[in-house]
Amino acid sequence: MRFYILFISALLLFSCNGKSPERTMPPPSNTPSTVTTVENERLPVYGYEVVNEYKHDSDAFTQGLLYRNGFLYESTGQYGRSSLRKVEYKTGKVLQKKDVPKEFFAEGITIFNDKIYQLTWRAGRGFVYNLETFDIVSEFSYKGQGWGLTDDGTNMYLSDGTHVIRVINPENFSTTRTIVVMDENGKPLMNLNELEYVKGEIWANIWHSESIGKPNHIARIDPQNGKLLGWINLSGISPEDTKRDSENTMNGIAYDKEGNRIFVTGKNWKKLFEIKLKKD
């Protein structure tokens, strides 16, 4: 009996002091995933120089932004206020607008094969528009939430608010693989939001990045393996906008590939900024 009591006590001690498996967010589908762990790595940080400032519609709750052929295309959110827009970036004038049905909260967009793809937040449903007319030509579905969307000319990349980016087949919108993004300390980099593909990298806004001590920071991510390549520090770029409301977070990156220009803005920001990066 004494041996039995000692044996049970040893088991209880092990169960209390032993390490339990770390709880992690599973990939959104049963597809291969790539996980890159970055532990205490010194990453490059870039600052910015404002090249130009332009007007931006402060009623636009920016969820997606991109540049194409001299114009900005913008997806705005909020239930009952979501829209798809074509914008004259130098003046902020909205040249074309398509309202999204009020039961949907619009999110990220990308242009692929001359069609505009737009996500919605919680509905698991997206829209495909004719680039010229903004008529809806088809719809698509996906599991989970939709936050940011971009493409590299072959694949699309979708963020869902976690640390996982899905690589999407544009033909059927199926997930072909996932990439997992970790921060400098090897922890999941959560709240990946609006995305832009820039020179072979995915640039991601981080929703409320101030919560990780990096206000208005953009993460630079390797699309092959999810490795965090560095940060772009845009803190202080638009203090008037970010102090008006806690949800006026930076959330819009547009890259002009031909002109090698970068545009950024935020939710309900009054300004759009053309910037150049500089090493901090």
d(CA 128, CA 116): 6
Flag whether pLDDT at 181 surpasses 90.
yes
d(CA 202, CA 89): 23
Domains of the chain with CATH codes: 32-279 (2.120.10.30)
DSSP state of 122: S
Give the pLDDT confidence score for residue 12 in this predicted structure. Answer: 36
The H or E element that residue 197 is part of is strand 192-198
Lowest average pLDDT, out of 9-13, 81-85, 143-147, 248-252, goes to 9-13
Predicted confidence band at 9 (pLDDT cuts at 50, 70, 90)? very low
Tens-digit pLDDT profile for residues 127-160: 999 999 999 999 999 999 999 999 999 999 999 9
Predicted confidence band at 279 (pLDDT cuts at 50, 70, 90)? confident
Average pLDDT over residues 259-276: 96
Give the pLDDT confidence score for residue 267 in this predicted structure. Answer: 94
Give the pLDDT confidence score for residue 250 in this predicted structure. Answer: 87
Give the pLDDT confidence score for residue 244 in this predicted structure. Answer: 67
Tens-digit pLDDT profile for residues 40-50: 568 899 999 99
Give the pLDDT confidence score for residue 236 in this predicted structure. Answer: 85
Flag whether pLDDT at 262 surpasses 90.
yes
| Structure-model confidence comparison of residues 232 and 40, the more confident one | 232
8 A C-beta contact, residue 129 and residue 122: no
Lowest average pLDDT, out of 18-27, 40-49, 225-234, goes to 18-27
| Structure-model confidence comparison of residues 39 and 172, the more confident one | 172
Half-sphere exposure of 33 (CA within 13 A, CB side): 17
Flag whether pLDDT at 52 surpasses 80.
yes
Average pLDDT over residues 217-223: 97
187: left (phi over 0), alpha (psi -120 to 50) or beta: beta
What percent of the chain is predicted at pLDDT more than 70?
84
d(CA 279, CA 175): 35
Length of the chain (residues): 280
What percent of the chain is predicted at pLDDT more than 90?
76
Average pLDDT over residues 49-63: 96
Average pLDDT over residues 11-32: 38
Predicted confidence band at 248 (pLDDT cuts at 50, 70, 90)? confident
Give the pLDDT confidence score for residue 29 in this predicted structure. Answer: 45
Average pLDDT over residues 254-274: 96
Flag whether pLDDT at 16 surpasses 70.
no
